[in-house]
Structure 1
Amino acid sequence: MQEYTSIDWKDNQSKTIDLLRFPLAIFVLYIHMVPTTENAFSADFAFLSWHGIYNFLGLFISQGIAVIAVPTFFLISGYLFFVNFKEWSWDGYKKKIKSRTKTLIIPYILWNVLSFLFIIAKGVGDIFTKGSSWSDVIEIINDNGLHFLWDCNKWAETQYSWLPWTTYLTGPIDLPLWFLRDLIVVTLLSPVIYWVVKNTKIWGIIALLFAYILYFWGNWPGFTITSFFYFGLGAYFALNNHNVVVFARKYKFLFVVLSLVAYVFYFYYHQVDNDIVGISRNVFTASTVFCAFVVASLLVEKKNMMPNKLLVSSCFFIYAEHKCAPIGALGWVNYIMSRLIPGQTYIEETICLIINPIITAFLLVGVYLLMKRFTPKIAGLLSGNR
């Protein structure tokens, strides 16, 4: 146990969390590249062809390791919410909610309102440039209504054999902010989460784990099992004074094996068997979240790699802006790169899949830096004063 007593694990964990934030934000961009993938074993292209390489990278990055981004953010959020919350206090709860109003609720509303207004403005512009009618603009407003703030988008509909319902995800008009929506919900319900963790101990978390892996959870917008499980898991670590990094490193070999085995099943059964794919994807995600903590903590400890303050503070801005229709930077970078790189083969598709999220992330870091310098109040509002 010497390894676990000779290091300042509290400091290591704090730096590990901050070091993870920017790569996780880039992972979100990789997810939203939405590459078209096929089962590699039944495909009509060679594995080592450019089509095969593109397919593998799409499965390995965008639909593989990148999927840990949002669950990890939920776990971190749950941990940080409860880390100094050993005994329940309504005054402490009110103070936390007041803080989260500035960092979560206000930016959430602002980004979705901005996206909605930009879409309406584009519709009005199309009247004068493309001959569209006012009825098209009215239709946009009527179709969304106040749902633009909550669940106007719906995707990833899947049917599993053991469930009587179809699973799907929903999101507001600024689609990636479904994470923020769900985070607001679990934050407001933190008294319930506190009670469950304190009274059921590890068993409540185990129950949520099985509900998460097997999709035993209804489809209520804002109340996803992903948010409740990972936020609750973070709460469990904080309320029981467990260090996430120490736990992850202690069981690192188990998590690596689980990740590898689950990914093999996911890769082999992709687009063949929804049941196996769904379970294997969730097992892979849950175990790889802890693998990420292991890697980041080792970089902090062995390589003295420190988180960059600008990159850390810009993560929320990257997350909120990159898909904010119709001004989302990722869409524009994809559009520009498709014209700068000639051809429409899988060589170009592979190059764009790899570099476009990175270009987008650093472009938005630059925009955020300029906003902090010239319009600091606006930058503060849009980023939750991070």
Structure 2
Amino acid sequence: MTIKSEISKELSYRLKIINVIMIILVIFIHSYRTEIKYEGEIIGLVVPKFLEILKRIISRRISISAVPLFFLISSFLLFSKEIDFRKNLVKKSKTLLIPYLFWNTFWIILYFIAQNISFTKSFFSNPNTIIRNFGTRDFLYAYIGNLSAGSSEPFLFTLWFIRDLMILNIFCLLIKKIIDKYALFVLVGSFCFWFFDINFYIVTATSLLFFVLGYFIVKYNLQIEMIDNIKYRYIIPVYIFAVAFSMLNHPVISNIFYKATVIIGICFFIKLSRNIYLNNKFREFFLKLDYATLFL
């Protein structure tokens, strides 16, 4: 069964706007630091309590919808047209594999150089990342993750989502076929893996669920207007409520609302993209920023 979903000019622009917002949020995610590691020493960062709470809200709650939304949009765009497996692999090799290999290799070389300069050595001397001690297996793990140790992160760990996206693209036709045959089973199963943080390490539960959801949007022709029609007076209070309860110390309650924060945040940013799109100045500003997001 071939499923196609028309992407209007408005939707195309809104996806670019969302892309810019998510990139900014990812920057906030990786700007969250609580300590600085030196060679043989760890220095904790002390900040005012209100600033710590604000930092946690932005970087560990509001921003957490970014990566799931990336997987959702990538999957939607992939499945919204008929998939030519060979052409898709060639395209993804250029847009994902080559940048992945380049930046991961660049980072390994950077670490090696920094570890051999006295002035910078102490900043790059984590015992687990001493490049001169790497064997063949260590270099392999640096690119695919140490699956035997339960880690799917490459050497440059921030690229884990590109790694997952490449794997999901390789198996996209199989995923589509399984969903077409066992839609409810796959939806419930992938949601449970995500909710209970059960990872296979081949890909994370987060990437799997939202990649699956991207195909569901196409398969059942779900329209973005479903989210646009939600009133801000409803979504904002619920969003604030979910964020607040996700920060409680109770592990069960905080996890439930943490997951809710991801879902509600996705809806909020999708809805926000329409308001930005309808404002000419904001739209042009975000569309210009979109050209710089790949480098960021």
Q: How does the TM-score come out when normalised to structure 1?
A: 0.62
Equivalent position of 2:253 in the other structure: 276
Equivalent position of 2:79 in the other structure: 82
Q: Percent identity?
A: 19
Match of 2:214 among 234, 248, 256: 234
Residue pair 1:124, 1:137 contacting (<8 A) in 2 also: no
1:218 aligned partner, one-letter code = N
Equivalent position of 1:250 in the other structure: 229
**Structure 1 position 188, deviation (Å):** 0.8
Count how many residue pairs are aligned between Structure 1 and Structure 2: 273
Partners in 2 of 1:235 and 1:22 — Cα distance? 22
- How does 1:1-386 map onto structure 2 within 5 Å? 10-36=8-34, 51-85=48-82, 92-126=84-118, 137-140=131-134, 144-151=138-145, 170-201=152-183, 204-215=186-197, 217-220=198-201, 222-243=202-223, 245-251=224-230, 256=236, 258-267=238-247, 269=248, 272-302=249-279, 305-306=282-283, 308-318=286-296
Q: Deviations over 1:330-386 (max 9, x none)?
A: xxxxxxxxxxxxxxxxxxxxxxxxxxxxxxxxxxxxxxxxxxxxxxxxxxxxxxxxx
The answer for unaligned runs of 5 or more in structure 2 is: 1-5, 36-46
**Structure 1 position 310, deviation (Å):** 4.6
Q: Deviations over 1:177-218 (max 9, x none)?
A: 001001111111101221133223455324322331222x23
Secondary structure at 2:244's aligned position in 1? helix
Residue pair 2:114, 2:120 contacting (<8 A) in 1 also: no
**Structure 1 position 23, deviation (Å):** 2.1
The answer for unaligned runs of 5 or more in structure 1 is: 1-7, 38-49, 154-167, 319-386
Quickly say closer, same or farther: Cα 1:10–1:258, change in 2 above 3 A.
Answer: farther
Partners in 2 of 1:201 and 1:144 — Cα distance? 39
Partners in 2 of 1:197 and 1:128 — Cα distance? 50
Q: Deviations over 1:50-109 (max 9, x none)?
A: 713212211210111111111111111001111113xxx6xx122111111111111111
Partners in 2 of 1:21 and 1:74 — Cα distance? 11
**Structure 1 position 110, deviation (Å):** 1.0
Quickly say closer, same or farther: Cα 1:118–1:36, change in 2 above 3 A.
Answer: closer
Q: How does the TM-score come out when normalised to structure 2?
A: 0.80
1:249 aligned partner, one-letter code = D
Quickly say closer, same or farther: Cα 1:152–1:197, change in 2 above 3 A.
Answer: closer
Greater radius of gyration (CA)? 1
Q: CA RMSD in A?
A: 3.3
Quickly say closer, same or farther: Cα 1:251–1:206, change in 2 above 3 A.
Answer: farther
Equivalent position of 1:364 in the other structure: none
**Structure 1 position 29, deviation (Å):** 1.4
